[in-house]
Amino acid sequence: MKLTSVKDFMNEHYKSLKEENVSAKVATFTSRLNPEKNCECEDKLKCECKEIKEDITNSGTYVAVKWSNHIGGYLREVFKDIPNLVQEDDFHSTLVYSRVEFNHITSNKYYEAKFKNFRIFEDRRTLKKVLVMELESPDLTNRHNEIYRNNPKATYDFDSYIPHVTVSYNLEDLDLDLLSKYEQIMNDFHFVDGTEYTEFLDLNK
């Protein structure tokens, strides 16, 4: 099992992104909102560039799909030998993590996905190994693209969207050979009846 970097894989550990400095946020907002205009102000918090200033906020928008507790309970039983499992009511797939707040109307559709493979990466904030299930899901991918298409001010910190579900935020010293057994079990597993939800993000935390 290859350990991939966070840059190569869109992961659920967005908390580390909250700790980046304001100037980095401004640069992200500038490139997203005004690709042809670069702010020259030395003090970004006091700049008079309206297009940029109005979006330097300490709040954002999070959108995800929650998988049922029934599925969560099943996964916890299957993965019982994996340390620090996600709780059964917290298995979800992120659709949007935007550092700019926007009005979002949740969809009432039900989402589906299929297990693809396991991926492991090192969290750059905690330096712990995180295990996720990468998914095949036109539903999630299409919805992600739709939300960003309809909300041009929304920010995104990765080059591409990879649907996934986090299994454990700290694998400790797990024997990675166990994942081969789990991949066989999960090979034809389908996630069904996922429901969309949205949350306010406090980027000061």
Residues annotated as part of the active site: 92, 94, 164, 166
Q: What are phi and psi of 202, to 5 degrees?
A: -95, 105
* Nearest by Cα to 60 from 199, 205, 190: 199
Q: What is the largest CA-CA distance in the chain?
A: 58
d(CA 192, CA 74): 13
Which run of H or of E encompasses 199? strand 190-202
Torsion of CA 35, 38, 42, 44, to 10 degrees: -30
| Beta-ladder partners of 118 | 133
Q: Which helix (H) or strand (E) holds 113?
A: strand 111-122
